[in-house]
Amino acid sequence: MTELAYIVSTEVVDSWKNVGRNWGNSLHRIMSRTGSFPPALARWVVEKFSERGDVVLDPFSGKGTAPLEACLTGRVGVGNDLAPEAYVVTRAKVNPVSLKEVRSWLEHAAKVMRPDAVSVYDAEENVRVFYHPQTLKQILAIREVLFESDDDVSNFVKACMLGILHGSSEISLSVPCSHSFSMAPDYLRRYVERHGLKRPVRNVLASLMKKAEAVLADGLPPVRGAAFNTDALRLPFADESVDLVVTSPPYFNLQTYAWDNWLRLWFLGYDYRVVGKRLFGTQSVPRYVSFMEKALREMFRVLRFGGFCVLVVGDVKLGRKRVDMAELLLEPAEDAGFVPEAVISDGIRREHKYLMYLRPWQGVDREKLLVLAKGAPRKRVRGLVRVS
Ligand SMILES: C[S@@+](CC[C@H](N)C(=O)[O-])C[C@H]1O[C@@H](n2cnc3c(N)ncnc32)[C@H](O)[C@@H]1O
């Protein structure tokens, strides 16, 4: 196995460590989702390891941060994620629509939706606990209109709905609660009682318009991309059709994506238990390595010769064990055909950390970028200094 030099940067790596938490185009803020990397990190990788006009793929795109950064910097950003809510948001970011289109969709919805014809009992009790009946009736009615079509405008409105479905801002539709993840209904019930919280009556179409205005405030990216909702082990792309792969694969089972998004999945018409069974997650190191070897082979297949594959991973605590994912993935990466180029270690200030919401004893300690190449790299990457 290759002995790898660890690398620190001179100038540029620090650019993504030191920017504020809200750095980046307003489209990034469509929806918050647990376990996402910061836009500035994606920007740094995209600019460092690809050129304008390149195709940049994230096969585990989550909320679509890397594909959006690719489109914003003149690349074709392509995202794929097996989680339905991740797909909707990724697609909204790489194929956003104008405010005018959102406005006409909302005007159309105002004419055809029938909140008085639906019953709040069309939603299960665990959903009802989040909403005032008048708000919930509108949510159910809008959902019916949204399900009629799957064009980019409907998809963009769906993504905006996911972004306001729960949270505590003045346009959030639910009782004040977390906006990053869907809270457990029993916990929420107790929390609402204990704090005497009120379920707000909202005009859902007006909230949607405000949301769209906010996320489109910085304008549309210069390039349109593409989004897919398939298993990363079977990507729908031709061999050597991608110039850069940048991704953060599942971290064992540290994130429970389906459960964390159960209410958003309900809105999209999915049962989180079914989605949870499809998404990859394990505590077992051998099973993880076997999955990642297949995923890396697929990334290798679609990547062109001379292209880079950059994996955002970390030092993970699994029970009492500590696993260095960068080290663990070296062998499967080499077996897949990659040449390991570098490991970039973080030193990120805690408040800017990728998984900063985790407690110190949980999860991920130190993020790392594992840089792999397919054959001899076509681009010289400057600004990195080998330290050992
Ligand atoms: C660490 S997260 C990626 C987060 C992303 N970098 C972001 O900033 O939002 C890993 C992603 O893998 C997805 N996933 C899990 N199993 C998958 C599979 N077999 N194929 C494709 N995506 C999968 C999860 O839904 C999750 O979004």
Per-residue pLDDT 10s for the chain (388 aa) are: 444 544 444 444 555 666 777 789 999 999 999 888 889 889 989 998 999 999 999 999 999 999 999 999 999 999 999 999 999 999 999 999 999 999 999 999 999 999 999 999 999 999 999 999 999 999 999 999 999 999 999 999 999 999 999 999 999 999 999 999 999 999 999 999 999 999 999 999 999 999 999 999 999 999 999 999 999 999 999 999 999 999 999 988 878 899 999 999 999 999 999 999 999 999 899 999 999 999 999 999 999 999 999 999 988 888 888 889 999 999 999 999 999 988 887 555 555 554 444 444 444 556 788 999 999 888 777 655 444 3
Same domain, 301 and 378: yes
Same domain, 234 and 331: yes
Q: Which residues of 89-116 are buried (b: 16+ CB within 10 A; e: fewer)?
A: bbbbbbbbbeeebbeebbeebeeebebe
Same domain, 47 and 126: no
324 exposed, middle or buried (CB, 10 Å; 0-12, 13-18, 19+)? middle
Q: Which contiguous run of DSSP H or E holds residue 224?
A: none
pTM for the model: 0.93
Same domain, 27 and 141: no
Q: Whose CA is nearest to atom 8 of ligand 1?
A: 36
Q: What is the pLDDT of residue 296?
A: 98
Q: How remote is the CA of residue 121 from the centroid of ligand 1, in Å?
A: 33
Say how many domains are in the chain. 2
Same domain, 174 and 252: no
Q: Which residues of 119-132 are buried (b: 16+ CB within 10 A; e: fewer)?
A: ebeebeebbbbbbb
Q: How remote is the CA of residue 196 from the centroid of ligand 1, in Å?
A: 36
Same domain, 25 and 90: yes
Residue 253 tokens, joined: 């089972």
Same domain, 257 and 336: yes
Position 1 in a domain: no
* Dist CA 372 CA 79 (whole Å): 19
Give the angle subtended at the CA of 228 by the CAs of 271 and 214, to the nearest 5°: 80
Same domain, 177 and 252: no
Position 25 in a domain: yes
Q: What is the pLDDT of residue 19?
A: 72
Q: What is the pLDDT of residue 360?
A: 46
Q: How remote is the CA of residue 1 from the centroid of ligand 1, in Å?
A: 28
Position 174 in a domain: yes
3-state SS class at 144: helix
Domain with 306 in it: what CATH number? 3.40.50.150
Q: What type of residue is 74?
A: G
* Dist CA 27 CA 99 (whole Å): 12
Position 117 in a domain: yes
Position 268 in a domain: no
Range(s) of the domain holding residue 72: 6-94+225-261+273-386
Same domain, 76 and 108: no
Q: Which residues of 61-82 are buried (b: 16+ CB within 10 A; e: fewer)?
A: bbbbbbbbbbbbbbbbbbbbbb
Q: What is the pLDDT of residue 350?
A: 53
Q: How remote is the CA of residue 167 from the centroid of ligand 1, in Å?
A: 22
Mutate-to-test residue for ligand 1 from 61, 68, 81, highest number of ligand atoms within 8 A of CB: 81
The tokens 């989702």 sit on which residue? 33
Mutate-to-test residue for ligand 1 from 82, 87, 180, 370, highest number of ligand atoms within 8 A of CB: 82
Same domain, 247 and 380: yes
Same domain, 351 and 230: yes
Q: What type of residue is 386?
A: R
Q: How remote is the CA of residue 141 from the centroid of ligand 1, in Å?
A: 30
